[in-house]
Amino acid sequence: MLETITKEKNKIRTLFKSIRSNLDSDFVEKKSAIIYKKFLRIVNLNKFDSICVYADFNNEVSTKNIINYAIKNNIKVSIPYIVGEYKMKLKYIKDYEKDINRNTKFGNGEPFDYCKDSSIKEVSMFVIPALAFDEDCNRLGFGKGYYDNILKLNKKALRIGLAYDYQILPNLPKNNNDEMLDIIISENKVIKAD
């Protein structure tokens, strides 16, 4: 059963990685701007004192405006970074342009070493990427469980996924290790967990 789920997930990953890598920059910019405005309407960011936000890469929904808004409004922003197989930690950033290293092993944005460590338990909201999402607030990442493992350490924080409409499927294959989200926001949809 688990092997079948893994195979299904890998097929979806391959397809959605290919689609995302072929998006054009105009699409990413326009849809990200719509999603950002929608995010601010749905989430009162000023209610949160410490948020964790992914640094987008490879045509993910852009998080630059969310990060800059939070920093400008004195909300602590931490960015995840990979420390080993299946494990991530967080560091605070104070400047989107200066504190995020884009020359990483995987090409994703990670905070520079000089940034101060942040506690996963202190985060009150996670903004999380994925290759695909579903109508039940499940997500499908790259398969290493990085975000699932972080979310297991903080069950009380709000969990928000940012997606393009095409990334949202009716349902995804899942197993016991998969952590659900509370809200998924795309350019035309808002999905909330029951």
Question: Please, which residues have CB within 8 angstroms of residue 15's CB and are 6 or more apart in sequence?
Answer: none
Q: What's phi and psi for 171, nearest 5 deg?
A: -155, 155
Q: Encode the chain (194 residues) as per-residue pLDDT tens digits.
A: 668 888 999 999 999 999 999 999 999 999 999 999 999 999 999 999 999 999 999 999 999 999 999 999 999 999 999 987 888 999 999 999 999 998 877 667 899 999 999 999 999 999 999 999 999 999 999 888 899 999 999 999 999 999 999 999 999 999 888 999 999 999 999 999 98
Give alpha helix (H) positions in 79-180.
Answer: 96-99, 146-152
Residue 94, in any domain of the structure: yes
Residue 101, in any domain of the structure: yes
Q: What digits encode the pLDDT tens for the residues 96-107?
A: 999 999 887 766
Residue 194, in any domain of the structure: no
- 119-122 contacts at long range (C-beta below 8 A, 24 or more positions apart): 119/90, 120/52, 120/89, 120/90, 120/150, 120/153, 120/154, 121/153, 121/154, 122/50, 122/76
Residue 81, in any domain of the structure: yes
pLDDT for the residue numbered 158: 98
Q: How far apart are CA 33 and CA 45, in angstroms?
A: 17
pLDDT for the residue numbered 24: 96
Of 157, 172, 66, 65, whose CA–CA distance to 118 is shortest?
A: 157
55 token code pair:
């640094």
- What is the Cα Rg of the chain in Å? 16
pLDDT for the residue numbered 1: 67
CATH code of 164's domain = 3.40.50.10420
pLDDT for the residue numbered 140: 96
pLDDT for the residue numbered 143: 87
pLDDT for the residue numbered 175: 87
Residue 27, in any domain of the structure: yes
How would you class 181 by CB atoms within 10 Å of its CB: exposed for 0-12, middle for 13-18, buried for 19 or more?
buried
Q: Is the dihedral of CA 164, 166, 172, 174 positive or negative?
A: negative
Q: How far apart are CA 82 and CA 106, in angstroms?
A: 10
Residue 174, in any domain of the structure: yes
The range of the structural domain enclosing residue 79 comes to 2-189
Stated pTM of the model: 0.94
Structurally, how many domains does the chain consist of? 1
Residue 159, SS3? Answer: strand
Q: How far apart are CA 65 and CA 84, in angstroms?
A: 29
